[in-house]
Structure 1
Amino acid sequence: MTAVVPKDASPAPLAVVPSEPGPGVGPLLRGWRRLRRVSQLELALRAESSARHISFVETGRSRPSAEMVLRLADHLDVPVRERNALLLAAGYAPRYPQTPLDDPALGALRDGLERLIRCYEPYPALVVDASYDVVAANGAIAALLTGVAEHLLQPPLNTMRLTLHPEGLAPRIRNLDEWRGHLLDQMRRQIALSRSEPLRALYDEVRAYPAPPSEPAGPAPEPPSPAARFALPMRIEHAGRVLSFVSSISTFNTPMDVTVAELAVETLLPADRETAAFLQGLPW
């Protein structure tokens, strides 16, 4: 059964911090261009403009049209939320709405997501936003959270806290050192792409959680799952056995709404036949 987690209709904004100070859209565009490691000439060629015009825009000598701002943002792969910030800095109205997820206008989207993750059972699946807060989760996710501290289960649930907190799933993850490193790397990459201050704060928080202790000398470690040959699995103790999963994340193509652009569907696929057989044998 799908569990939909209530969320504030007005999520915290994702802040854009330009690489160098200055008013207007020019420094912001220059910051994104340098972040993407694109020269003025390369950006001009992509946007069918000229390096001279790009230079004038970045220094404030030329005011770009709203269409040019969006064209440059598209070629710089600027997140939808930050495209609105660029338009505002250039003196234009935001182009992309931010519709609350519980708005009737997104009813079909919500229903579709809930059906998707429900149909994925008996395997775990959930929907998260840009800050890794859980928007919806299926029954298999709920089963995995058995034993997690109550304070971590208060809405909004956050997948990074649930996974890495010492009172969350962390003590049950057999390869916590590897999985923790993977999640922190994933967050660092996302911070570099979106410049999200809330996400950076979350990263600093979970990075400060106690790291797994060094393995004491003892028996040889268990051989890795065959899935480790093509993807890093998460190996977690559950119901007296070790389950192994590989993660897949899907996002929407060509989103036109900030809320939709920041949603991601994460599915956990069994990494071995034993995990699949155990999950398929559970009563749903």
Structure 2
Amino acid sequence: MRARPAAVTAAALVALAVLLGACTANRATPTTGAASAPATSDQESRNPMSANDSAATGASPAAGHNSARSARPSADPSAGQALLAAAAAGDLAGVRAALQAGAPVETTDQRGRTALLLAVTNDHVEVAKALVAAGASPDAVDDQQDTPWLVTGVTGSVAMAEVLLPANPDLTLRNRYGGVSIIPASERGHVDYLRRVVQTDIDVNHVNDLGWTALLEAVILGDGGPEHQQIVQILLGAGADPAIADRDGTTALQHARSSGYTEIVRILEAAG
């Protein structure tokens, strides 16, 4: 009667030994699933890229992410390039389609130019409206220190300025020459643009890296003709100081005299 319990005990010991051996083998040779789970978790803890970031860059989300995050739609990797191309071409429908496809509104090209900067450069006003409505910044700086707002001073587009002003551009941002938007506008004789922008809080006496104000630049680089005569009048009316001299101590009046710009000389002399 005692032999059967002993046999049962021996059998149990054998089974226990087999079980322990299997556990030891499993520890020595982990399965693929057991090895990958901790590695994925460790990578996620050190890598700030989320599942949504992975989707946006074309990478596959890790299997361990919850279904709610994995279910979010990802952007078409080509949507950003499509947005830039459409903005440069003035293709409003293409811009809207690219944004709908998930293109980041601040996508940049190899020169750091956003879609809005490309639209402004080419004076595509309706495209710019759509981009501003989508949240595009008028202050995004490219590799040459241009921004959408600064470029309006080069193009002289009043319509574009009206699109960007409600987006509250930083009027103190400077281009690669250290100038604000009205300085290149004054040089180029953009009369209507200047007349509109001096109504803002822009500093009409800002001095660029060359030591020139908008008034000095209009006289030094202008041609003394009717457009630049109007530029000088607008600037003076907006509070430009004719006494500010360049680095050599030469005022706008002195430059006008030396260049033979008699009408501008008359305007400046009348201003005192």
TM range, normalised to the smaller chain?
under 0.3
TM-score, normalization by structure 1: 0.21
Structure richer in strand, relative to its length: 1
Structure with the greater alpha carbon radius of gyration: 2
Structure richer in helix, relative to its length: 2
TM-score, normalization by structure 2: 0.22
Which structure has more relative contact order (CA 8 Å, sep 6+)? It is: 1
